Amino acid sequence: MIEVNSFERLEVWQFAYKFSLEIYRLVSNFPNKEKYGLVDQLCRAAVSVPVNIAEGSGRGSIKDFQRFLYIARGSLEETKSHLLIAKGLGYVQEKEFETIMALAQRIGKMLNGLIKSNSKK
């Protein structure tokens, strides 16, 4: 069973938290016309990753935790798609894109590992 408020100790949550902060830093340079479009969508998707990990860990059962890990993984993929669009529009430079996508890939692998591990329980 997952301990209440233990999500902060999960390495995947820590990386997802840093990822969401990096997304907020990244979009601060986007054009104002994207404030209610791409910026909003990108931030919501990125924040959804650590938030769903945290919510799932507080649900008290592996089954519920697993469900929220899948949601977090979906949000991560959504974020990656938004990042590709932002890059295509020229809002993100190649080096920034590669750095943030590498972090996204790492989080994805961590989520997949946790999902796999929980499936065995």
Cα separation, 61 vs 57, in Å, equals 8
Mean model confidence pLDDT for the chain: 93
pLDDT at residue 111 greater than cutoff 60:
yes
What is the C-alpha separation between 116 and 102, in angstroms, rounded? 21
Looking at domain 7-119, its CATH architecture is: Up-down Bundle (1.20)
More confident residue, 4 or 106: 106
pLDDT digits (tens, 9 = 90+) for 28-71: 999 999 999 999 999 999 999 999 999 999 988 899 999 999 99
